[in-house]
Chain A
Amino acid sequence: MAASEHTIAPSGSPSGARTGTGRARTLLGRDRRFGYLIIAPLIIVLLVITAYPLGYNIWNSFHHVDYLLPPLGAWAGVSNYEKLFTDDQFVPALLHTLAFTVVSVVVETVIGLSLALALNKRFRGRGIVRAAIFIPWAVPTVVSAELWRTMFDPQQGFVNYLLKELHLPLATTTWLDSTWTAWGAILIADAWRNTPFMAIVLLAGLQVIPSDIYEAARIDGASAWQQFWRLTLPLLKPALMVALIFRTLQSFFIFDVVYIMTGGGPGTSTNVLAYLNYKAFFALFDYGYGGAVSVALVVVALIIASAYRWVFRTDEAATA
C-alpha cells in the first residue's frame, strides 16, 4: 500500500503546456491504475477462496485422491462422477436437497410475504413487533438447530409436553428418529430462522412502492385482492427475486441444521448434498469423490441461479 498517486499533482509529461487531452489521458491512466491497485486485495482473496478451491476440486474429481487407498494422484477419468450416479448416496441426497429446497422456500415465501404485508401497515408497537420477529434471523443457525432439537426432544421438549397436556396422540413420538417427522423438524428449524430474512427483504420492497397508486386503484374500484395481485405482486418482483435467489441457494446448501439435528439420519434418510460432501472429506477421506460432489453442487447452484434470472427476465419481457 505504498501508493502515493497524485492525481492533480504536476504531471510528468514533457511539457505542461501541451493540449489538455494528453494530460487528461495520464490522469485517467493514473486513476485507473490506482483503482486496480485498491481493488486487487479483494479480487486476490476471493480468487484464493473460491476459484482456486473450485479448480482444485475439478482436478481432484478427475484423479484418484482417496487417502485410505494410496497412492494418490493417478488419473481416474470420469470414475468419480460415475460413482455419483452408481452409489446409493448421491442421487438420494440430491433429491432430498432439491425437495427440501422447494418446500422450505415456498413455506418461507408465503409466511414471509404475509409477515411483510402485516408489518407494512401502521400500528402501535410496530417497531417492537418487528424486532421480535427479526431476532431469530440474528442468532446463528447452530442456535436454531440446538433450540429446535430441545423443543422436539421426547423428555425435555415442548412439543411432546404440549401433546401430553392436551391429551393428544403422538405424545411419546421421538421426532428425530423417523424420516418424515425428522424432515418436519428440520424444516421448522430452518423456516423459523430464515423466514424473518424473507420478511425483511420483502418489507423493504413494499416500502418503496408509492402509496398513491393504491389510492388510484381504490378510486377505480379495485378490491383489496385485485390490488394485491395486480399492483403489489408485480411491483414487488425485484425484491422477490433477490429474496428468492438468496434463500433458494442457502436452502440448497443446508448443512448446520442437518448435522446437528439428525446427522443425516435415521439411516441416510435426511442426508443432504452438503452433508454428504462433508462426510466424503472427513469420514471417507476420498477427495476425488468429494471433489466430484463439490463440483456437482456448484453446477446445480449455477443452474438454479440462471433459471431464476431466466424466469424473471422472460416475465419482464412478457409484461412489457
Chain B
Amino acid sequence: MSAASEAVLRQPRRAAAKKILTPWQLARRTGFFALLAVFVIVSLFPFYWIVITSLKTPQEINAGTTSLLPGHITVSNYIDDFTQNDFLRPLLNSVLVCGCTMIITVVIAALAGYALSRTAIRAKGLFLAFILVANFFPVIAMVGPLFTVYRRIGLLDTYPGLIIADLIYTLPLATYLMSSYFSQIPRSLEEAALVDGSTRLRTLRKIVIPVAMPGVFTTAILAFMLTWNDFLLALSFMTTPSRFTATVAIVTLGQSPYQTFYNLIDAAVVIISVPIALLVLFAQRRIVSGLTAGSFR
C-alpha cells in the first residue's frame, strides 16, 4: 500500500495513465512495443541466421535452405576452421595486434591528454584541431604511401608496421577521452604530491592515472574494439597468410573458385563476434559513455 502510494507520488502522470487506459493510449502503447520488437528482431535475427548456417553440414549447404530451424546440428565447421583452415592463428594475430595497439594508445593518449588538460602549452586549440582532422582522415589515403615506405624500410608484412598504422583508428578518440577524464580530477591531489617533491611524470603515473583508472579502462576497451574492426590496413600491409588478422582471414576462408562455403565463413564470423558481444553485454555503459564523451568534444 505504502509502496504503491510512493510510486504514485513519484510519477503521478504514469500511474494515472495506467488506471484508465483509453483505447487510443492502448493502441499507442501496443504500437510502441511492436516497433521496439521490430528493431530488436532486425538487430538480432541475422545473428541467429549465421549461427544456424554455421551448424549445417556440407550436404545441407548444397541442398539450400529449407527451414528456419537448424537440421542436423554439427560443430564440424568450427572444428574444420581450427584444424584445416588454422583459424586460431589469425585470431591470435588479431589479439596480439589489438593488444599492442591498445597499450601503445593508452600510453600515448594518457601523456598527450595530460598535456592538454593540465599544462600551459600554447596553441592548445591548434593541437585539438589537428587531432580532430586526424580523426576524420581517410584511412585509404594512408595505404599507398605507407606501403611504399614500409617495403623500403622492412616494415611490410610485420606486426609493428600494422600496429603503427592501426593507431590512426584509436589515438584521436583516446586522447580526447583521456584529456576529459583528467580534467574531472581535482587539481589538489597532484599539487599535494608535487609539493612533496614528486616529479610530474611520477605524479601522473602514481597519483593521476590510478584515480583516472575507470577512464583508462574505457579508453582501452574502445581502442581494442576499434582496432579489432580493422580490415583495410591488415589487407593492405600483411601479405603472408599466416600473419593475417581474423577479419582478413575470414574473407579468404571458405572461398573456392567454384563455391562459397558459408558454413565455414559463418562459423568464423560467430567465433569473432562472440567475444565482442560479451564485451558489449558486460561493459555496455562504459563503451557508450566513452563513445559519446569522445564524440561531443
Residues of chain A whose beta carbon lies under 8 Å from any beta carbon of chain B: 1, 3-9, 28, 31-32, 34-36, 38-39, 41-43, 45-46, 48-50, 52-54, 56-57, 60, 114-115, 118, 121, 123, 127, 129-136, 138-143, 146-148, 150-151, 153, 155-158, 160-161, 192, 196-197, 200-201, 204, 238-239, 242-243, 245-246, 249, 253, 255-256, 259-260, 274, 277-278, 280-282, 287, 290-291, 294-295, 297-298, 301, 305
A110 to B274, CA, bound (A): 29
Contact A38/B284 with A140-B229, A204-B292, A305-B136 known, Cβ cut-off 8 Å: no
Is there a chain A Cβ closer than 8 Å to B114's Cβ? Answer: yes
CB distance from A132 to the nearest CB of B (A): 5
Is there a chain A Cβ closer than 8 Å to B168's Cβ? Answer: yes
Is there a chain A Cβ closer than 8 Å to B36's Cβ? Answer: yes
Per-residue CB contact flags for chain B residues 234-250 toward chain A (1 = under 8 Å, else 0) read 01100000000001001
Q: Which residue of A lies closest to B41 (CB)?
A: A132
Majority SS at the chain A contact face:
helix
A121: chain B residues within 8 A (beta carbon): 32
A101 to B77, CA, bound (A): 37
Q: A115-B39, A134-B284, A281-B143 are in contact. List 9 more A-B contacts (CB 8 A).
A: A35-B118, A38-B112, A42-B108, A49-B168, A56-B149, A139-B273, A150-B49, A157-B65, A255-B232
Interface size class of B (residues with CB under 8 A): 35 or more
A301 to B201, CA, bound (A): 38
Residues of chain B whose beta carbon lies under 8 Å from any beta carbon of chain A: 32-33, 35-36, 39-40, 42-47, 49-50, 53, 61, 64-66, 68, 107-109, 111-112, 114-116, 118-122, 127, 130-131, 133-134, 136-149, 164-165, 167-168, 171-172, 175, 194-195, 197, 199-201, 225, 228-232, 235-236, 247, 250-251, 260, 262, 265-266, 269, 272-273, 276-277, 279-281, 284, 287-288, 291-292, 295-296
Majority SS at the chain B contact face:
helix
A161 to B66, CA, bound (A): 7
Q: Is the CB of B114 within 8 A of A38?
A: yes
A21 to B272, CA, bound (A): 60
